[in-house]
Each structure stands twice: as structure tokens, then as C-alpha cells.
Amino acid sequence: MKKSRFSIFVLTLVLCLSLGTGGTVFAADTIKIGILGPFTGSLAFNAGEMKKGMMLALDEVNAKGGLFGKKVEIAFADTECKPDKGLAAVKKLVTRDNVLVVGGGYCSSVNIATSEFCQFEECPVVVAIAISPTITNRGYDFVFRTSPNSPMFLNGINLWLAQVKKPKTVAFFMENSDYGRDGQKIWEEQCKKIGAKVLANLYFEIGGTDFTSAISKLKDLNPDVVFNIASTTEAALIQKQAKELNYATQWIGVGGQFTQAYFKMTGPISEYAMGSSLEPTKAMKDPVTAAFVNAFLKKYPGSRPGIFSSQGYDNLQVILAAVKKAGKPTDDLAKDRLKIRDQLAKTDMKLSQGLIKFGKDGQVYTVIPSVVQVQLDKDCKPDTQIIFPTQRAAAKYEAPKPWSERKCK
């Protein structure tokens, strides 16, 4: 796509941002890759998990001599999950640090903007963790995504709703972002198909801490299911405040919130929560996934290799493979980026989340999430279990019990 398609708004905003900020210091003769993520703020833990997966992949390639006899270096740039900060960060990476390719991500609103800038600059970008369909549905040929988009994440839940739960009434309590609004639209359409009545559409701001008013309203409405797209911290606080208000329901989210930090905050309170996820520890029968999990545990003893770490690992592995196949970088950065873009389009790799192959739009359609539910072991320790589809299920669905009937509280 030609640069003329880049929006005037984004271009103007970028030109006004961070003009006085210094560039990243790279070694003189290295392979330079830029990575975006909200490394500070309420999403810092999740971005940190993505970074762990990427550092594992980076260590692996550099232990083998790097690429073309050169060490691979990464510049991690903080977006704070804010589009203006993301644009400032990607502008520096692409036009001042002169990275070959940009990866990482997180926060759909940020990645919609940063990927548009990369398209304008004709620098390939491979988004790791952001699921709005908009990112890859604009016809951009320098934009790729290694994670499923929101329709793909939600499709399994849709099938489960139609075949298993069959709710009569539902409500939405969503993050006020592209991420939350896209999910709400998709799930509301599915609810209409199965005849479920929507009782409420509620939203909260990222970084919010008091959800009691909305939860009280949900308690009064008493829907069969509450759809709740939220990141780790907000999702955990919502669960804790629901218990404080003695409100028990079937919470359904995307599933990315089910991290070590989430379970540390909620403990057994998170029991019965559901989502659609790509949890690597639940796919240990796959030798490629098992190899990732074991390598992760060796590098980070005591850590849990979750969806964000596996997405980070796979994202960087795809980038490294494309850079290698594109050939040794030259003095012509534009041509090098174009060659990497062409190799990304040909990606065909089996990694920790599954097979990575891109469609013509740059979206991966070969990674299939499963429906998971938080269930407790005999010591009241929470963990996710695959409950759908049946051929992958390791456990059966458990309907939420009232708080007064739960053994673990």
C-alpha cells in the first residue's frame, strides 16, 4: 500500500511527538529489532511476560552465534498502552534507531496506530498481543500478527454458549477500548443468534479500581452470563469486589488475564471464571510446545510460562526467521525491510502456540484457542483447565456455586 493511504491525523500526531528524545544506543555491528509494549502501568506484568518469552528466543539465537555472525539486539520501547506514547516510541525505533523490523505490541488502540505508521514508513511490523480485527483488515502489506484476532478468540466461546451453556440472559462489562468494544460487538451478535437477551452494556476505564457500582447493578439484573473483557489487574479486582458484594455468576472473558499475577491476587476467588486462551502448559503433549515450556522454566525457575510469554517467544522467532531468510542486511535499509516483509509473508513455522502461517491480510489463522475454566485442586489452588472443544478437553465444565456453598473462599 502506498504512503498516501497513511492518515493525516496519525502523521501530524507523530511529527509532534518526542522530537527531543534520544535514540536507543545499539552496538555498531548488530542486527537491530524494535519491540513495543506497555512496560509500565497496569499492564506491565503482562508485557513483562511477553518480554520474558522474547528474551528466551533472543538468548537462543545469540547462543548460536546470532545472525550472519552478528549479535541480535532488541530495543524495548514503552507505549504505556497509550496511542500517542506508542506513536512516539515506534517513530523513534523506525526513523532514528533504524531497526529492521518492529515486533511486540499489546493494546489494540496502540497497535492500530503504530502499525499504520509502520505501513507508511514501509517497515514490517509483527504484532504479538493485540486482537482488534482492524489491525489486519486494512489491506496493509507491511503489517502481520502472530496471535488470533478477537473473532478467533471468541469463536470457541460462541460455540460453547450455543452447545453447552445456552444462556437466556447476558450482560456485558467491558474495558472501554477497541479491545473491549470489538469483543462486545462480536458476543452480542452471537447472543442474538442463540436467543439470549442482553440486559446491560457496561464499560469501565483502563486503570480503574472501583467497580462496585457496576457489579451491584449486575447483581440486581442477575444475568445467566456476564461477559467481562479486562486485563489482569482489572479482572482480578472485579472478581474480588464481586465476592465482597456476594455476587456469583458465570464470568466469561478472553482468558489472557489468567496469569500468575491474576491468581496471586484472586486465589480461589477466581474459581469458575472462563475464557478463551492459548495456555502452553495445557498442550504439553505437543513436543514443540513442551520444548518451549521446559526451556522457559530452565531460564525462569519458579515462573509460569503463560499465554503472554509464549506469544512473545513465537513473535520473535517468526521475526528472526524472516530476517535470516531475507539475507544479510546491507546499507540499503528500505530494501532490507522489503525483503524481510516478503519473507514474513511466506512464514510457515510450528511454534509453541501452533502452526504460524499468515493469510494474505497478514493475520495468522492457524492458531486455534481453546475454552478454559478456572478450577481448583484439592489444596484450593486455582489453574485453568481446557473444557472445550471436547476433543481437547482435560476437564468438564463446572457451574458456579453461590459463595455460601463453596469450600474454598
Instruction: Please give the class, per CATH, of domain 151-277+377-405.
Output: alpha beta
Architecture of the domain delimited by 3-148+287-357: 3-Layer(aba) Sandwich (3.40)
pLDDT value of residue 21: 39
Strands 274-277, 348-351: pairing kind: unpaired
**Grid cell 451478535 in the structure block, residue:** 189
pLDDT at position 12 is 47
Sign of CA dihedral 385, 388, 392, 398: positive
pLDDT of residue 28: 57
The residues spanned by each domain of the chain are 3-148+287-357, 151-277+377-405
Q: What are the backbone dihedrals phi and psi of residue 195, each rounded to the nearest 5 degrees, phi first?
A: 80, 20
Alpha-carbon gap, residue 324 to 31, rounded angstroms? 10
Q: What are the cell numbers at 54?
A: 522474547
Which string of DSSP letters, residue by residue, matches 21-79?
PPPP---TTEEEEEEEE--SSTTHHHHHHHHHHHHHHHHHHHHTT-BTTBEEEEEEEE-
CA distances from 365 to 148, 152, 161, 233, 361 (A): 7, 8, 22, 29, 10
Strand pairing class (274-277; 370-376) = antiparallel
In tens digits, what is the pLDDT along the chain, a chain of 409 residues?
Answer: 545 445 544 544 444 444 333 445 555 589 999 999 999 988 898 899 999 999 999 999 999 999 999 999 999 999 999 999 999 999 999 999 999 999 998 899 999 999 999 999 999 999 998 988 999 999 999 999 999 998 888 888 999 999 999 999 999 999 998 878 888 988 898 899 899 999 999 999 988 999 999 999 999 999 999 999 888 889 999 999 999 999 999 999 876 678 778 899 999 999 999 998 887 777 667 889 899 999 999 999 988 888 899 999 999 999 999 999 999 999 999 999 999 999 999 999 999 988 999 999 999 999 888 899 999 999 999 988 889 888 778 889 999 999 999 999 8
Q: Which of 314, 374, 397, 338 is nearest to 53 (CA)?
A: 314
Q: Would the CA dihedral through 360, 363, 367, 368 be positive or negative? A: negative
Do 267 and 379 form a contact (C-beta atoms < 8 A)? no
151-277+377-405 has the same fold as 3-148+287-357: yes
What's the pLDDT at 283? 67
